[in-house]
Chains A and B, each alone.
Chain A
């Protein structure tokens, strides 16, 4: 059997000795090292280790706000971690260098292997070893003299038969010494093993390139749409937008999406999971362009809507209470739905309302929206159900400078109360604002009022465009196919040699060899033997009355060992 190490690492070099001095020599030495199996293994394991911190620290790519909070909470260690790019692991210099080195190594490894394989495919099967009995699987047969002469079987014709049979079985064959005393056929199969390996490794490069192309030309954005509202696919339409490096505005098709209704269904049958969501369905009216026909479509979790070269995904939902804020002068300062952020499964939601147009002072509100409000023994309000059976707003109010005029972008979901005066809150004497549906609360000191007019739901959608997605899929599937071929196909060589005994018997011996460790080789040997015996048996006109006998014990206990089987077949 081939030595496993040498057989498997063909194409890579053995450990390089210290290089001869000189620049090119050093370069060549470095290249050899980089493309060695040992370094490939090292880089692979290093990549695994390097990926781990990305799951331990918050990542900007996934959630920049969490990173900002982390930095605020850890003023000492945060900046150091940031310096090491631990909040951007997967685009960090060190992570990128590992996988780039790995892929350079991969290319350096695959290219010579591919060339070698192309040559091997065209080359003839290797010469028949002098002593076939040395092969890990070995067996002999004999065709009795009477039968051989009756069917005109000669060593040469037997080899021709064997070659035809092996060829049918998928072997590439080459007949040697056809006219000699001891003709033989050399056969080889399983080239797709190596091909699979090459396809696998090359497809990994394909996947990487697809990911990169997607990053260059793709884009994604987020948008919250309240029931009744329409989103138009333009840059200003988005709440947040992340363009690829090569993005340009004209890539956006001006389609529009209106959210007609959003239906949710919660589990009401099971006590153990009462109120667990069962279904979210958004009914949309879409228009592929300003002049296109409106179309009704439904959007669900796990079922995106494709429109204008993008896909729209339902990734979140919540309540948007409709409110009206009047200022101290009696004018409407804010009117409309306010998007609240659910913080638990019961949709206890954080609400922030800013009224920068209020006069004489700007007004701000912060608190909770509760779909089904209840008050516990301690007097604390909480939500008991995700459906709006008793919707209520619990708010604190503030007056002063909201800090929105400085031009800095501000998070709409956060109210900075540092420069504000509290008008009322749960802890103040006059208590917090508690508003049921349809109710109005007058702020202290005649600063204005707030009314809870109605309730709507909203959906949060992600909108994505990735031109290289299909490429990534195709290469992944190719990789999987190549991997399976590489791991499960056996690369085998087989030889059959014949000779004629002076008494007229035709003697046949065969040997098989696998590349690497191959536990199924004996079974293959048995199959080949069966093929040969049943072929000569299947032509009784040729084989005559006499029996064909497998002769000789399989060598050294490792042979096909199919005497019993064959005996049966032949009879």
Chain B
């Protein structure tokens, strides 16, 4: 029989707590960055407007608005660079601290998940607590990896906020001490099926955040185009809706392939465990619903009149289904998958 190391399990829980604290501080800095940067940009704009009284009031200001830039002044709402590259803007010191803190938090978080796995002598995703904590780690890792390629710091407060929520849910709602796996979960398909499910869900988490911002941004763009006031000033840090849509489409495509794999691997496992690869068990139903909604999303992107806002809504609905599947279905619906450990 495998041995469970409860002491190491307790250490893991301590790490998890430390990581949560670090994330919360990182979150505060991300929010601070949004507030500060939008204020800086506002000030720059005011100066520009004052300096070029004849020019149209709206200056195009990039995420890194260079003070007193003599840039051409095209009309249009101010917002970040389309490319989401790190441009040479003013130092966003809060954002830098926030990212550094996120790295620290992720390292501690990784240690927590790792020690949990070692303590249990198996992969650390066998119950709700573990799905949540490991899932949050993957969200944070994917966010950091994406950050090395694109300047996505604008979604930082959103994504890290979700990570904090996931960790809170895990430690408060689903707390479970380390333990062995029940026979139903003793299968290598647990490793394959659940890891890809968690990774895909993490990607969907990221695109969910981006789709929400896309909706806010596009209504802001529309309002400004109609000559209205720019109420959501902090959205100046966020790239235009179209580039948000394009990036989240690419991430959603990867996540969708992952989800398709999850579905197939789940079916193979179901065949091995229960003798049928598909039986419309509640968990299977919701996995299918999620798959279909995202398939709809991919179709929407190719359907006239369905790109943009409507596609973003589908991406959001898909994510809400994922959350529903993970929380309500796991806890309240009975079915063959009822071994969430709550």
Q: Which residue of A lies closest to B242 (CB)?
A: A517
Binds B, one of A41-49, A181-189, A371-379, A544-552: A41-49
Is A315's CB within 8 Å of the partner chain B? yes
Report if A517-B184 is in contact (Cβ < 8 Å); known contacts: A48-B292, A48-B293, A269-B3.
no
Is A339's CB within 8 Å of the partner chain B? no
Picked from B183, B273, B275, the residue with its CB within 8 Å of the CB of A220 is: B275
Binds B, one of A52-60, A75-83, A391-399: A52-60
Let me know if A41 and B306 touch, CB within 8 A.
Answer: yes
A279 to B296, CA, bound (A): 42
Is A276's CB within 8 Å of the partner chain B? yes
Let me know if A278 and B1 touch, CB within 8 A.
Answer: yes
Which chain B residues numbered 288 to 312 have a C-beta less than 8 Å away from chain A? 288-289, 292-293, 295-296, 298-307
| A274, chain B: closest CB distance, angstroms | 10
Is B329's CB within 8 Å of the partner chain A? yes
CB contacts (< 8 Å) of A301 on chain B: these are 183-184, 186, 273
CB contacts (< 8 Å) of B184 on chain A: these are 301-302
Let me know if B292 and A37 touch, CB within 8 A.
Answer: no
Picked from B186, B246, B267, B305, the residue with its CB within 8 Å of the CB of A519 is: B246
Binds B, one of A225-233, A437-445, A477-485: A477-485
Let me know if B264 and A302 touch, CB within 8 A.
Answer: no
Is A298's CB within 8 Å of the partner chain B? no
Which chain B residues numbered 228 to 244 have a C-beta less than 8 Å away from chain A? none
Is A535's CB within 8 Å of the partner chain B? no
A79 to B152, CA, bound (A): 54
| A20, chain B: closest CB distance, angstroms | 23
CB contacts (< 8 Å) of B269 on chain A: these are 302
Binds A, one of B26-34, B86-94, B209-217, B278-286: B278-286
CB contacts (< 8 Å) of A276 on chain B: these are 179-180, 182
Binds A, one of B69-77, B134-142, B166-174, B255-263: B255-263
Which chain A residues numbered 312 to 350 have a C-beta less than 8 Å away from chain B? 313, 315
Report if A476-B279 is in contact (Cβ < 8 Å); known contacts: A52-B285, A273-B180.
no
Is B268's CB within 8 Å of the partner chain A? yes
Q: Which residue of A lies closest to B298 (CB)?
A: A487
A211 to B277, CA, bound (A): 10
CB contacts (< 8 Å) of B1 on chain A: these are 265, 269, 278-279
| A310, chain B: closest CB distance, angstroms | 9
A463 to B180, CA, bound (A): 28
Which chain A residues numbered 1 to 56 have a C-beta less than 8 Å away from chain B? 4-5, 8-9, 14-15, 37-38, 40-41, 44-45, 47-48, 51-52, 54-55
Q: Which residue of A lies closest to B321 (CB)?
A: A48
Let me know if A37 and B246 touch, CB within 8 A.
Answer: no
Let me know if A480 and B261 touch, CB within 8 A.
Answer: yes
Binding site of B, secondary structure by majority: helix, strand, loop or mixed?
A: helix
Q: Binary interface profile of A, 439-464, with partner B (CB < 8 Å = 1, else 0)?
A: 00000000000000000000000111
Report if A277-B275 is in contact (Cβ < 8 Å); known contacts: A38-B304, A44-B295, A269-B3.
no
Is A469's CB within 8 Å of the partner chain B? yes
CB contacts (< 8 Å) of B271 on chain A: these are 469
Let me know if A277 and B182 touch, CB within 8 A.
Answer: yes
CB contacts (< 8 Å) of B288 on chain A: these are 48, 51
Is A473's CB within 8 Å of the partner chain B? yes
Which chain A residues numbered 280 to 334 have a C-beta less than 8 Å away from chain B? 280, 300-304, 311, 313, 315
Is A142's CB within 8 Å of the partner chain B? no
Report if A38-B303 is in contact (Cβ < 8 Å); known contacts: A55-B282, A220-B276, A462-B275.
yes
Which chain A residues numbered 76 to 121 have a C-beta less than 8 Å away from chain B? 89-90
Q: Which residue of A lies closest to B282 (CB)?
A: A55
| Seed contacts A270-B6, A280-B183, A302-B269; 4 additional CB < 8 Å A-B pairs | A40-B299, A220-B276, A279-B183, A488-B253
Residues on B facing A (Cβ under 8 Å): 1, 3-4, 6, 176-180, 182-184, 186-187, 189, 246, 249-250, 253-254, 256-257, 260-261, 264, 267-269, 271-282, 285-286, 288-289, 292-293, 295-296, 298-307, 314, 329, 333
Q: List 26 A-B contacts (CB under 8 A).
A: A4-B307, A8-B301, A37-B304, A38-B303, A38-B304, A54-B280, A59-B280, A267-B180, A270-B6, A270-B177, A270-B179, A272-B179, A273-B179, A279-B1, A280-B183, A301-B184, A302-B273, A303-B272, A304-B272, A304-B275, A313-B275, A462-B275, A466-B276, A480-B257, A483-B257, A519-B250
For the complex of A and B, 4 pairs with smallest distance between CB atoms: A48-B292, A8-B302, A313-B275, A272-B177
